[in-house]
Structure 1
């Protein structure tokens, strides 16, 4: 009976998860030629093709997708076993990967977690809610902190903060002396907005569509930091969640009169992973924060 090389299987799983040999090599801390050689050796051993290699991307073949379903379960159980053994030592070792839609909500949780478990390794990636949910389902992170997490039986979500949208302008803007504007004031105005898949953009566009408002040109930028710089440079009016506005002296926040455009922030994990030691420990931190009144508005 032909045995499967565990390192080759892990190499395949990393490439299938990351969708890139380069990213997978970085994740496993090996060189790309080494990783490619491991995947090729696995393919050659069983006489199969696991990936269709194209110029700029790779795609799983049918047998690759079937194998990925198996390795997904296999390495999930391996990680769960490691966390069970880690918990026997009082959570003194382990690596918790967190995805967040913004640092403002997530850093206080990470800081509290680090204070309680200083020997554990933490890493955080930033992305919009859609990407974070995909990362969670594909196990690129164990915990996601994001707005408006969709209902999905595979996902457990814990609401911790309700937020609302505000507009903001540069200090030289004619509205800089205002405290509040009407949503209708944005008709025909040039706006600086996140990408179409972001929760902020979707919430805002739902509100203006419901109000029958036609805005002007949209400058679309894929990061909050770049949006702040664009608005500060006078390139348009920005829209952001109130808790993420910060204290940039170049900018002025403007609340909207009337009903608030609201979103809810959640801490989410895979439903079948919520009781694993590392994830449970993080959820406990979040619950304690909510109970102390630090996690919700």
Structure 2
């Protein structure tokens, strides 16, 4: 095979996105240009590289082999760049961080503060759901992974760096607003809005109810923190969100935090890395920065 590095980069992007169009947008090429390069790869391999499942492209067995090899080679080249930067003594190179969606309220600010100190670092932040984060963790696609729950089943190191305070919230005219302390049994009788299955916030709240001997079926399941906030403001029920999501709404009175027994819940945000993969100099420095200054930086957002 006479595969080029550019073809490998394009193929990896298509496989990751499951789409020629989204891959083309990422690499700033036209969709036909990306398709042509993947077609040439298929001609070299002599087998199809993708199956179409609905509107999503999924690698074939041959495609999986090519994907693994592409990620290995591209990863080694990136590691070489990082090693050379380290030898030059530069705090430079890429810093790839994947974060679950709730972390979008503070991670850009933390990365921004870090890059102001180290302007040669090139940050890449992927904000994704937990399922996609676990896929990226398994595929060694990022340096650090920001989540509220330590993943199981993989050899990882997890460093806590910030409190995750989860609050019960309601519309200001809700019957429970201004009351307190509210027994958890009373809260369980209300319409409860939950994030989708797999959400760390949902798991923490369900655990709190279970420890009190209560099981609460969701009145509605919603796929984002913003959707929860809008539904609560519309009077559809009570939600539970990280305090970092709620600054403007609580300050303006569009939402209120309820005084509920056992709340707020305090959990941790973790920076996770693969145990068998050393961090680049930039990633090591960013991890140390978060451990030392995340609380101070995040407090500015509240």
Report the TM-score, using the length of structure 1 for normalisation: 0.86
- Report the alpha carbon displacement of residue 58 of structure 1 after superposing the two structures with TM: 1.7
1:59-93 deviation digits (Å, cap 9, x = unpaired)? 22112212222222211111111222233454465
Q: Is the partner of 1:150 in helix, strand or coil?
A: coil
Match of 1:82 in 2: 81
With over 3 angstroms needed to count, the CA separation of the structure-2 counterparts of 1:216 and 1:50, relative to structure 1, is closer
Match of 2:187 in 1: 186
Write the mapping of 1:87-102 to structure 2, written as runs, cut at 5 A: 87-91=86-90, 93-101=92-100, 102=103
With over 3 angstroms needed to count, the CA separation of the structure-2 counterparts of 1:145 and 1:15, relative to structure 1, is same
Match of 2:286 in 1: 282
With over 3 angstroms needed to count, the CA separation of the structure-2 counterparts of 1:287 and 1:264, relative to structure 1, is closer
Distance 2:189 2:105 in 1: 31
- Report the alpha carbon displacement of residue 174 of structure 1 after superposing the two structures with TM: 1.6
Match of 2:258 in 1: 254
Distance 1:22 1:49 in 2: 19
Match of 2:35 in 1: 36
Give ranges in structure 1 of 5+ residues lacking alignment. none
Match of 1:169 in 2: 170
Distance 2:241 2:264 in 1: 13
Match of 1:204 in 2: 205
Write the mapping of 1:10-159 to structure 2, written as runs, cut at 5 A: 10-91=9-90, 93-101=92-100, 102-159=103-160
Distance 1:231 1:258 in 2: 21
Q: For the aligned residues, what is the CA RMSD?
A: 2.7
Distance 1:288 1:208 in 2: 33
Q: Verify the 8 A CA contact 1:165 1:242 in the aligned structure 2.
A: yes
Q: Decide which of 255, 263, 269 is 2:267's aligned counterpart.
A: 263
Q: Is the partner of 1:166 in helix, strand or coil?
A: strand
- Report the alpha carbon displacement of residue 196 of structure 1 after superposing the two structures with TM: 1.4
Q: Verify the 8 A CA contact 2:20 2:35 in the aligned structure 1.
A: yes
Q: Which moved more, 1:90-99 or 1:72-81?
A: 90-99
1:234-265 deviation digits (Å, cap 9, x = unpaired)? 11111113444324121111243147644321
| Aligned residue pair count | 294
